[in-house]
Amino acid sequence: MLLHIIARGKIGRSSEADLTDRYLQRIQWKTKVTELPDTGGNIPDPIGTPVRSVVLDERGKAMRSKDFARKLERWRDEGVRETRFLIGAADGHEAETISSADLLFSFGPATWPHMMCRAMLAEQLFRATAILAGHPYHREGPR
């Protein structure tokens, strides 16, 4: 399954870009990043079908890393070819994008800079795939 980050704004050469790249390079699954302008621009056509859409939004569902990993695992096992992770610009997403999402995902109620969200998402994607591979990267603390 392709993990495809579609993000508004250009990250350029920055510490956030370096951190994002560091995590994406560790992922054993296929990954892709598409940058769109802050407004306008077309979301690219899917690589294959079926496709799932995850929209990052502060009103979305906060998930434990293991639960996020299991969701990706379920989609992969159902034959999903591409999971898209949409990161909006400063003004968020259009209503149509939110309403068509398979999952509204949140890093909590705080507002995060969209460039930082890329790095946080890349880390969570690495963590999820590491969990599914049985890799010791993820250590769950006491509950």
- Omega before 136 cis (within 30°)? no
- For residue 56, say whether it is annotated as part of any ligand binding site: yes
Separation between Cα atoms, residue 6 and residue 52, nearest integer Å: 13
Check: CB of residue 26 under 8 Å from CB of residue 54. no
Please tell me whether 103 is known to bind a ligand.
no
Phi first, then psi, for residue 36 (nearest 5°) are: -120, 160
| Residue stretches of the annotated binding site for S-adenosyl-L-methionine | 56, 88
| Residue stretches of the annotated binding site | 56, 88
